[in-house]
């Protein structure tokens, strides 16, 4: 039994109301159960409870056992001075106010709705299921799921905003610099995300601004700071990069000792860090004031146009500095740009709007609904239970649902879990 379940029972009044009495023998009438408090302090604020002939207005505290009041040291906390009713599963000790008067206690144990208790026990049983509501999920109302997924998506954006606001602070409120660092991280994909981010951290963005109109210098900056130019080669392109990097290193006092090692292991050649850094350089060679352009776009087609770039000519026949491959343009694919929309562009616009106090445009939701859903285990498993993921907004919402609700057994905070517990 979790205390959160008792919160649910009290909040939705899922218990028998026949001849309600306190443990002290006084009749109880619940005029209003109060407002659920998710922060510190009593569990429900501003309840209205008639006890005997007196109407009380104040707070309600909920525990599994009455003695938890003392176990949690509420007797010394002023925040609990206005508790008018102590709701518990089991009553094992009297609880007193500071003036030694008894706080009325109401016991739920033998009053809880049998269906809700059975559903609760089913959700929180120890059966090895992928998610607790696996058997019931296919029957969940589509309208409820659609609304819940939109809310979950914004929760995911909020969770992602921490990194962006941290980058904004360290970048001295330079949104262009934040965009570069977020793009670098996501160009690195899973294997090199942190390495690419550490590379982006290793020099001031003003350096990139100064070299961006010289493509070979821009590539030299990124490859050099990533530690990829510490090689011997007879190729003129590679030697030009090394020459330019040495010049930039001396001019701007660059160092890369804190940059994490770049990984090639278990990567498809199209995702080699060499290719992704060359493509990132191409994005910045082509676009000045990229952040200003991004916050004004409203469709994925406009974003596809901004990122319609290829790595420079050397990479047409290479995936790595040291070996030649069959000719092939290394263009950014729409599938890769979709990942940038999901993980960089929309979160950044969300944070920028939040930071500047501007309302989030409806076009942002439209944009996420126009991008294809991600293909991963979580999305596939949910879709096997019920075909719910149709877009990137849905797939992001389902990732949030699985990682921050299902895996943590937060069924009582989930719209699906709440509906299942309330359903008769």
Write a three-state SS string for 371-413: CCCCCCHHHHHHHHHCCCCCCHHHHHHHHHHHHHHHCCCCHHH
Calculate the CA dihedral of residues 213, 217, 222, 225 and round it to 10 degrees: -140
Residue 317: CB atoms within 10 Å: 13
The answer to the question of residue 104 being in a domain is yes
Q: State the Cα angle at 393 between 298 and 266, rounded to 5°.
A: 105
Query: Hey, what are 73's tokens?
Result: 């040291």
Q: How many domains does the chain have?
A: 2
Kindly tell me the sign of the dihedral angle through the C-alpha atoms of 26, 27, 28, 31.
Answer: negative
The answer to the question of residue 64 being in a domain is yes
* pLDDT value at residue 99: 84
Average pLDDT (252-266) is 96
Determine the Cα–Cα distance for residues 220 and 244; give it in Å rounded to an integer.
Answer: 6
Same domain membership, residue 214 and residue 347: yes
For residues 165 and 359, the model is more confident at: 165
The answer to the question of residue 392 being in a domain is no
Q: pLDDT confidence of 98, banded at 50, 70, 90?
A: confident
* pLDDT value at residue 424: 55
Average pLDDT (328-356) is 97
- Adjacent-strand bridge partners of 35: 45
pLDDT at 114 over 80: no
User: Which residues form the domain of 106?
Assistant: 3-112
Average pLDDT (120-139) is 85
For residues 123 and 24, the model is more confident at: 24
* pLDDT value at residue 169: 97
CA distances (Å), origin 302, targets 52, 247, 294, 334: 68, 37, 9, 12
Q: pLDDT confidence of 423, banded at 50, 70, 90?
A: low
The answer to the question of residue 179 being in a domain is yes
* pLDDT value at residue 120: 82
Mean pLDDT of the chain, nearest integer: 94
pLDDT at 422 over 80: no
CB under 8 Å, gap of 24 or more: what pairs does 321-324 form?
Answer: 321/228, 321/231, 321/233, 321/235, 321/238, 321/274, 322/231, 322/233
The answer to the question of residue 222 being in a domain is yes
Calculate the CA dihedral of residues 140, 146, 147, 153 and round it to 10 degrees: 120
For residues 170 and 423, the model is more confident at: 170
Determine contact, residues 208/284, Cβ cutoff 8 Å: yes
The answer to the question of residue 381 being in a domain is no
Q: What percent of the chain has pLDDT over 90?
A: 84
* pLDDT value at residue 382: 97
Residue 202: CB atoms within 10 Å: 19
Same domain membership, residue 90 and residue 177: no
* pLDDT value at residue 160: 93
* pLDDT value at residue 51: 96
Domain final residue pick, 112, 128, 162: 112
* pLDDT value at residue 137: 95
């Amino acid at each position: 039994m979790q205390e959160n379940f008792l919160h649910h029972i009290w909040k939705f009044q899922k218990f028998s109301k026949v001849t309600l009495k306190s443990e002290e023998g006084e009749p109880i009438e619940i005029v209003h159960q109060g407002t659920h408090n998710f922060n510190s302090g009593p569990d429900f604020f501003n309840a209205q409870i008639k006890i005997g002939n007196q109407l009380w207005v104040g707070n309600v505290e909920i525990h599994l056992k009455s003695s938890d009041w003392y176990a949690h040291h509420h007797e010394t906390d002023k925040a609990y001075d206005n508790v008018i009713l102590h709701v518990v599963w089991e009553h094992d000790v009297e609880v007193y106010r500071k003036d030694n008067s008894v706080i009325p206690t109401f016991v739920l144990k033998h009053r809880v709705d049998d269906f809700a208790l059975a559903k609760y026990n089913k959700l929180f049983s120890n059966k090895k299921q992928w998610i607790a509501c696996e058997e019931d999920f296919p029957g969940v109302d589509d309208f409820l799921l659609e609304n819940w997924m939109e809310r979950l998506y914004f929760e995911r954006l909020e969770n992602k905003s921490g990194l962006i606001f941290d980058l904004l602070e360290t970048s001295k409120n330079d949104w262009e610099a934040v965009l570069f660092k977020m793009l670098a991280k996501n160009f690195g994909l899973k294997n090199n995300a942190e390495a690419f981010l550490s590379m982006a951290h290793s020099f001031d963005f003003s350096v990139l601004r100064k070299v961006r109109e010289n493509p070979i210098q821009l590539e030299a900056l990124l490859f050099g700071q990533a530690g990829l130019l510490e090689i011997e080669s007879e190729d003129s392109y590679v030697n030009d990069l090394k020459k330019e990097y040495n010049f930039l290193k001396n001019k701007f006092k660059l160092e890369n000792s804190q940059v994490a090692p770049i990984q090639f292991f278990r990567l498809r050649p199209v995702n080699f860090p060499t290719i992704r850094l060359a493509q990132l350089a191409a994005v910045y060679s082509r676009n000045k004031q990229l952040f200003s352009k991004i916050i004004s776009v409203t469709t994925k087609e406009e974003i596809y146009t901004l990122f319609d770039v290829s790595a420079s000519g050397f990479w047409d026949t290479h995936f790595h500095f040291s070996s030649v491959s069959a000719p092939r343009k290394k263009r950014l694919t729409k599938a890769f740009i979709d990942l940038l929309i999901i993980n960089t562009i929309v979160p950044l616009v969300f944070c920028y709007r939040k930071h500047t106090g501007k309302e989030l445009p409806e076009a942002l939701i439209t944009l996420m609904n126009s991008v294809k859903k991600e293909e991963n285990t979580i999305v596939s498993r949910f879709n096997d239970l019920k075909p719910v993921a149709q877009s990137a907004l849905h797939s992001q919402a389902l990732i949030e649902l699985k990682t921050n609700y299902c895996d943590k057994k937060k069924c009582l905070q989930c719209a699906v879990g709440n509906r299942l517990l309330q359903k008769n």
